[in-house]
Amino acid sequence: MQDYNLEKIRNDFPILNRKVNNNKLVYLDNAATSQKPNSVIQSLNDYYTNYNSNVHRGVHKLSVEATDEYEKARFKIADFINASSNEIIWTRNTSESINIVSIGLKNKVNSGDNIVVSRMEHHSNLVPWQQLCKEKNAELRYLDHDIAGRIDLDQAKKIIDKNTKIIAITHMSNVLGVINPINSIREISKENGTLLVLDGAQSAPHFSVDMKEIDCDFFSFSAHKMLGPTGIGVLYGKEALLEEMDPFYFGGDMISEVTYEGAKWNDLPYKFEAGTPNIADAIATGFGVDYLVDIGMDNITKHEDNITNYALEKMKDLTDYKIIGPLDMKDRGGVISFTHNSVHPHDVGEILDKFGVAIRTGHHCAMPLVRSYEIVAACRASFYLYNTYEEIDIFIDSLKEAESYFNKL
């Protein structure tokens, strides 16, 4: 673990030197994807330049080197979340990870059963469960939350019962920024013998997650939100449950034996990894994790909390902007969604871009949640380990300029 040297960290990210519309880039769209440090970028170049080869079963040097680095990355992920390497499955992204789980668990859900999700879920952790309930004639129940996004645990205890087969919930909301009370929900799930599936896309990049401590049954996240490349994700599952589940894809590498009459599946984790894997990006993901570990997740969380609190305090003076989600730092992360009383979010986003400030606008793949606040879209600023107080000041000034521009029309 190193001291938090923000200047050094920023120098590791070449894109942060870019100018946008003749202004310094202020990148505040980290909940959508993070920027990449030199070590991750260089690892991709190194793989394709020096040891590009397919993994597993090859006896030549390039294949052996590629296999070693590929599997080393899996061990890095396992250590990062305190799991066993055979419980780590490479996927394309969080969405695919959750789909693997929803399809793999379908035999555990029958007519008359129910599945529980929150009302703040990303579509990736909502639509798969909607489809499973339709297929199985099961009921989909929703955890309620208050205006700030706090889950109603009393209501949770009422709707989670012995017929609840699965609870699927986001660890941290990509819209509200709220960090959900997973420990309490886990206890309720245990009381009812219910499986707990966590969407960790917004938590794993920003604070320490420990599978032994959380004790969830499945946990998913995407590399590109935590300094890694796009197109690769991770599914963690408890070994016993993964052993029970059928594969999602079929083909090479996920089999141990094939005859004309049938096939036998490979051992974990390979039975869920059909075909040539995303080798280069898996290796690069390992380098992204190295970077996070070197800085220290607790250091990153502390920095992001300070930056987020600073932004929240500054936004209190912008009376025509309304924050959606918690107004304080209690159980929240570095995501702030907001609207303006009279200016459409897309217009706000376009004006901010003219000042080099990158935010996200829209429904953030959480359409039912956004609509529940009687809006069709929202602006979202999201922070990461390389953001600065100066950037928050530029962000706030840009919001004032956006408001001023439309007031003149």
- The tens place of each residue's pLDDT in the chain, 409 residues long, gives 457 899 999 999 999 999 999 999 999 999 999 999 999 999 999 999 999 999 998 899 999 999 999 999 999 999 999 999 999 999 999 999 999 999 999 999 999 999 999 999 999 999 999 999 999 999 999 999 999 999 999 999 999 999 999 999 999 999 999 999 999 999 999 999 999 999 999 999 999 999 999 999 999 999 999 999 999 999 999 999 999 999 989 999 999 999 999 999 999 999 999 999 999 999 999 999 999 999 999 999 999 999 999 999 999 999 999 999 999 999 999 999 999 999 999 999 999 999 999 999 999 999 999 999 999 999 999 999 999 999 999 999 999 999 888 877 6
Q: pLDDT value at position 409?
A: 60
Copy the structure tokens of residue 369: 């949640």
Whether the bond into 326 is cis, omega within 30 of 0? no
Q: Which listed residue (133, 216, 365, 379) is catalytic? A: 365
**What is the tens place of the pLDDT at every residue in 84-133?**
999 999 999 999 999 999 999 999 999 999 999 999 999 999 999 999 99
What is the value of pTM for the model shown?
0.96
Residue 30: exposure state from Cβ atoms within 10 A (0-12, 13-18, ≥19): buried
With beta carbons less than 8 A apart as the criterion, state whether 100 and 218 touch.
Answer: no
Q: Give the C-alpha separation, 133 to 335, whole Å.
A: 31
3-state secondary structure the chain: CCCCCHHHHHHCCHHHHCEECCEECEECECCCCCCCCHHHHHHHHHHHHHHCCCCCCCCCHHHHHHHHHHHHHHHHHHHHHCCCHHHEEEECCHHHHHHHHHHHCHHHCCCCCEEEEECCCCHHHCHHHHHHHHHHCCEEEEECECCCCCECHHHHHHHCCCCEEEEEEECECCCCCEECCHHHHHHHHHHCCCEEEEECCCCCCCCCCCHHHHCCCEEEEEHHHCCCCCCCEEEEECHHHHHHCCCCCCCCCCEEEECCCCEEECCCCHHHCCCCCCHHHHHHHHHHHHHHHHHCHHHHHHHHHHHHHHHHHHHCCCCCEEEECCCCCCCECCEEEEEECCCCHHHHHHHHHHCCEECEEECCCCHHHHHHCCCCCEEEEECCCCCCHHHHHHHHHHHHHHHHHHHCC
Which option is the CATH number for 6-30+296-407: 3.30.1960.10, 3.40.1390.10, 3.90.1150.10, 3.90.226.10? Answer: 3.90.1150.10
Q: pLDDT value at position 405?
A: 84
Q: pLDDT value at position 362?
A: 96
Distances (CA, A) of 133 to 159, 258, 365: 16, 34, 20
Q: Give the C-alpha separation, 44 to 34, whole Å.
A: 16
Q: How many CB atoms lie within 10 A of CB 59?
A: 6
Q: Which residues pair with 20 in a beta bridge?
A: 23
Q: pLDDT value at position 406?
A: 83
Q: pLDDT value at position 1?
A: 42
Domain extents for the chain?
Answer: 6-30+296-407, 42-293
- Clarify whether 216 is annotated catalytic: no
**Structurally, what CATH architecture does the domain formed by 42-293 represent?**
3-Layer(aba) Sandwich (3.40)
Q: pLDDT value at position 57?
A: 85
Cα-Cα-Cα-Cα dihedral sign, residues 366, 372, 373, 374: positive
- Going by their DSSP bridges, the two strands 139-143 and 114-118 should be labelled as parallel
Residue 342: which region, alpha, beta or left (left: phi > 0; alpha: psi -120 to 50)? alpha
CA-nearest of 95, 141, 151 to 115 is 141
